[in-house]
A and B are shown apart, each in its own frame.
Chain A
Amino acid sequence: MNLWNLLRHITMKHFRLRKAQIFMAAAGICLGVTSIVSFGVVNKSILFSFEDSFNRVTGKAKLQITAAQSGFPESLLEKVQEIRGVEYAVPVIETDGMLVSGKERSIMILGVDVLVDTKIREYSLSGDSVDVPDPLLFLAKSDSILVTKTMADREGFIIDQKIQVQTVEGIKTLCIRGILNPEGPAKAMGGNLAIMDIYAAQMAFGKNGRIDRIDVSPRQGENLETVRQAILNVLPNGYMVDTPAGRTRQVEDMISRFQNDLNLVSYLAIFAGMYLIYNAVSISVVNRRREIGILRALGCLRRNIMLLFLGETLVISIIASSIGVGLGLLLANYLVGTFGKVISETYMRTSVSGIHITWLYPILGFASGIIASLMAALFPARASSLISPVSAIRSVPYTEESFFTARRLNLGGVFCLVLSGAIFAMYNFISDSHLTNMILLPIAQLMIAIGISLFIPAFLKWFVTIFNRFFSSMFGSAGRIAGLNLRKNLTRNAVAVSAVFFGIAVFVASAGYTHSVKESVLKWLDSMIIGDIVISSGHPGSSANAHSIPMPVDLSQQLKKVPGVLSVEPWRRVFLQYKGRRVLVSAASLARYSKYSSADTKQVVKNNKIRLLPDKDNVVVSEPFAAIFKVKKGDQITLPTPAGPVVFSVAGIVVDYTSDSGVIAMDINTYQRHWGDMLCNSFFLLVKPGAKVNDVRDEIQRQFGSDRKLYVLSALEFKNEIRKIMDDIFIFNYALNVITLTIACLGIIVALLASVLERTREIGTLRAIGMLRRQIYGVVVLESILMGLAGGILGSLAGMFAGWVNLEGFFIPNYGSAARYYLPFSAILWALFLSAGLSALAGMIPAQKAAKTNIVEALSYD
């Protein structure tokens, strides 16, 4: 009850007086909650859309049998059908096609056995189609296709219309024999789906005699797991038998890098928000020292003082978190499209139609916001309760001996840095455990930040000394007084500096991490000599994604005949399941044409020339693959092929960023021998000396362009396309930078605003002894800039250090890629510029107020 009185009569008045500060402290937490909620909801929505699509496409089937993207022999179907417990097992071709007209939209093509498929999936045909006796039967004609109502409406398709679709065999003209109502499978993939007869689909997509999937519905009353085991028993190794939920989990696994990045953003945002709260409460405690003293003298219990500050924080955090939840949901709604697109382009086709709200993330975000705020407020709130009333209510307080002497601070700083060094050294030995990395490394990073922050008073002292000696005279008397003031109030100023410090450190760390990963990939890309011309039939950037429509390898024979072409190299990229994860097989004529690869790969290939010959079963793997599956050079790995498992030796480990989850590179001949797949995703061409690249490119387009949709790009154009895609992939990291920068800015403003407001009395004294308004203004702004700059410099330093640890600790153990650390120069410049500039701004308003200070009022009590 008496706490209630305090909150009602004191807190509410403070809130009214300190709107700006409270707003900014709350904004930090609000931002954290927003990111937890929005990223969580977006993530869930994307996974939900996958699961929904899986469920719809699977229909009544409870299990799906899949293998590599290249498909598997039809003959397996009978084996599965014979299993007791299996009621229906139907073959499916699931592949990508592209509408050649209109926006060249990529669609999913489902090839099904029209006679049995209705046992599994229910197709409902729209009114226009019903006069046809049995439209499904029409599918037996090889040019028949069913499209969804959604697609028909969008593209303006009608029954019996002929449409052009890009297939493996080139552009094919198909006839729309029916339009599917938006129900069941027709609603999957946001309606971007068409259905063909399985035989026609096999022909059109180069899968003669092969299928992509078998959908199985078990007999009534059969145990799903028993049936699953029975199926696994009749299949060779490397096949997956999964429920739609299981497939969703695989997707979750696949996009885990995204999730990790998102989580990192959220944690950082919350952490930074905590720092803002910590700072705001600390400042508030310092400012209200006298008030606390009076309350204590009048009989307010210690714990009530503490509860007062916690209560204030609680009120702020409830409001901030509620707003954060609301903003998070709004943001999720806005982001889900973009994120869905990125996932779709980089990992696997999906079409997210909207957000799918579960209560988990709003509640999690709300609770995190409140708990984080209270935790952040705990330390300063406790400090507030220890303020002695006697000292606080005197006009000039006695200096209470601080535990934190300069010597102890420096020792503590050294200790933290040594500790982080030790953790870092240690982690090289226990790098086996993923979990240890995830826990130890954040601690190491935090230790770096805290360690360096403990040096802030010492650094500030040194910084100010330098300023006084060399620069202060440049600013006249304002410069000298600013210098003296800074020195005089080292401890208090150190608090403001540390706010700037943490904000800038987090910003520079995250910018450095992003910059390094991107720069490494770009360097790698640049070092790749991919020939003069790249030809693909899907989107040119589809190096590892879903929207690639392969071409027959034979096309290379025709391409070679084009005048000016020196050589043609096919490249096949196909995903397969290895130990439960999706990995990329990248097949080209490694041994002969190592020049088509990065400098590093070339070296590895050269060193292992003999072993990588087309007739040897050897592969090279990418660093992420080696890291994830703990594979060393010389190890053997067993890969599933349509004909059963085959053992390959690892001839080397290379840098390859094509896929997060790992790349296995082998000679294309080796690939074709084992997988019997005569397709490829792109051709790399070299042009004869003297021939013009652009002429050759145009000639190819002229000769082949009418048969199939081809993307013929010069090497430079191709690399630029990849860069564009990378920008999409890095969207989260940019979001991270924006968030950390925003928080850094808030921190700077909160701290400096408070530090100036606190000094009304001191400024009154300066005015009384004859300082001009203009000079006061100058002093305050200059002090702000100096503090901002000190924090900015030290923060950049800590940020570079922490960013390096982040890369070595987070990126490399998780993804295994040999990304090098690149200093984020532009980010550091920004950091310094912003820390000085924003500090100046933050100082200006209070400086104005200070300049106008009424001397008499300022010098009187309080």
Chain B
Amino acid sequence: MIQVLNVSKTYHHGQQEIYALNDISLKIEKSDFLSIMGPSGSGKSTLLNLIGGLDQPSNGQIFIDGQPIHGISDDQLTLIRRKRVGFIFQFFNLLPILNAVENVSLPLLLDGVPFSRIREKAIHLLESVGLGSRTEHRPEQLSGGEMQRVAIARALITDPAVILADEPTGNLDSHISEEILGLLKNLNQTGQTIVLVTHDSKAASFGKRIIRLKDGSITEDISLSESRA
């Protein structure tokens, strides 16, 4: 359902060119749970951002459900992010001025839906990630694990085609991390497609399939689905 074809991404540092991604091809099926692993600077985030339409590839093609997301206008790309993709970031990236429900509602607010019509669904999602009693709290009043749960609820509110998580446990201790990863796994079991970026092999093992990146290239692609099933 997601197709990455011969994608490269280069950055310029002064005169110097840096290949963050070098001719990558990849296919992600519906209801898959893909873990992307690799050392820091290997291009994991770059790849994820390209899949999520946060950035455009320097070369190559990317499709979500057959729909190209390369070489389209910024507005079209933005609408794809809004409607088809759910992001979860390492630094949570909640808006500090909004409370939990409002943060969860944000993607739909951006779509112009009145808050009164989103509220119920947002609260329901917060309950489903175990934050039913924290709906009116602002990020600064929440712990890291709680913030990441808010972020997961936010990613889910638009019923996205895919959830992209960039080191979602990078800032959490191992016990909390397991809970968060467990949440993602549960989601995946209801059919949600998930792409998880991590440099932690334990976290990666929650996925059904693992690819390894090094210096912008895929070095390994293993499927865990049989062994785990």
Contacts and interface: CB of A to CB of B under 8 A. Distances in A.
Nearest to A395: B91
A388 B96 CA distance: 20
Contacts of B83: 299
A299 B107 contact: yes
A5 B109 contact: yes
A516 to B, nearest CB: 50
Nearest to B97: A13
B54 interface: yes
11 contacts: A4-B112, A5-B110, A6-B109, A9-B109, A13-B98, A290-B93, A294-B93, A301-B75, A390-B54, A395-B90, A861-B171
A300 B78 contact: yes
B49 interface: yes
Interface in A273-302: 290-291, 293-302
Interface residues of A, number: 34
B55 interface: yes
A10 B154 CA distance: 16
Contact of A299 (B49, B89, B91, B111): B111
A861 B96 CA distance: 10
Contacts of B111: 2, 299
A425 interface: no
A633 to B, nearest CB: 66
B102 interface: yes
Among B90, B91, B140: residue with most chain A CB under 10 A: B91
B204 to A, nearest CB: 22
B110 to A, nearest CB: 5
A225 interface: no
B92 interface: yes
B164 to A, nearest CB: 10
A17 B106 CA distance: 19
Interface string B97-118: 1100010001101111111000
Nearest to B84: A299
Given A298-B81, A302-B78, 5 more contacts: A5-B110, A9-B109, A10-B97, A299-B111, A857-B140
Closest 4 CB pairs between A and B? Answer: A299-B82, A2-B112, A1-B112, A5-B109
Nearest to B157: A298
A39 B98 CA distance: 44
B116 to A, nearest CB: 11
B139 interface: yes
Contacts of A17: 97
Contacts of B114: 5
Nearest to B52: A297
Nearest to A862: B96
B78 A301 contact: yes
A294 B150 CA distance: 14
A2 B96 contact: no
B82 to A, nearest CB: 2
A688 interface: no
A389 interface: yes
B33 interface: no
B120 interface: no
Given A2-B112, A297-B93, A302 B75 contact: yes
A501 B139 CA distance: 38
A393 B110 contact: no
Interface of B: 49, 52, 54-55, 74-75, 78-83, 87, 89-98, 102, 106-107, 109-115, 139-140, 154, 171
Interface in A651-682: none
A616 interface: no
Interface of A: 1-2, 4-6, 8-10, 13-14, 17, 290-291, 293-304, 388-390, 393-395, 857, 861-862
Contact of A861 (B91, B106, B107): B91
Contacts of B113: 5
Contact of B95 (A5, A10, A296, A302): A10
Contacts of A295: 95, 106, 110
A239 B40 CA distance: 92
A861 B94 CA distance: 10
A389 B56 CA distance: 12
Nearest to A401: B12
A293 B112 CA distance: 19
A4 B110 CA distance: 9
A297 B54 contact: yes
Contacts of B52: 297
A295 B109 CA distance: 11
A301 B82 CA distance: 9
A403 to B, nearest CB: 15
Contacts of A6: 109-110
A6 B95 CA distance: 12
B112 A393 contact: no
A388 to B, nearest CB: 8
A323 B51 CA distance: 50
A388 B94 CA distance: 17
A855 to B, nearest CB: 15
A857 to B, nearest CB: 7
B54 to A, nearest CB: 5
Contacts of A1: 112
Nearest to A296: B78
A5 B97 contact: no
A389 B115 CA distance: 24
Contacts of A13: 97-98
Contacts of A2: 109-112
A9 B115 contact: yes
A299 B110 contact: yes
B161 to A, nearest CB: 13
Contacts of A303: 75
Contacts of B102: 9
A19 to B, nearest CB: 14
B52 to A, nearest CB: 8
A43 to B, nearest CB: 45
Given A295-B110, A298-B87, A5 B54 contact: no
B82 A298 contact: yes
A17 B138 CA distance: 14
Contact of B49 (A294, A390, A862): A390
B93 to A, nearest CB: 5
B95 A294 contact: yes
A304 B111 CA distance: 11
A781 B107 CA distance: 41
B109 A393 contact: no
A291 B75 CA distance: 19
